[in-house]
Amino acid sequence: MADATALDSTADIKNIVVRYLEAVATGPAADIAALYAPDATVEDPVGSEPHRGA
């Protein structure tokens, strides 16, 4: 069964990337975090201990 929150098209993916880049350039960290799944992980810098969502 497909996840209802999954991205459905190339246009969806491009939209998220644009929103991410805009948030990184001008928004607060909360705007960036809102683009991630609740259980996402981020390694920044790459190879460091992952930051984990809920």
Residues with catalytic function: 20, 44
Q: Give dist(CA 36, CA 24) in Å, integer.
A: 13
Decide: 29 and 13 in contact? Cβ < 8 Å: no
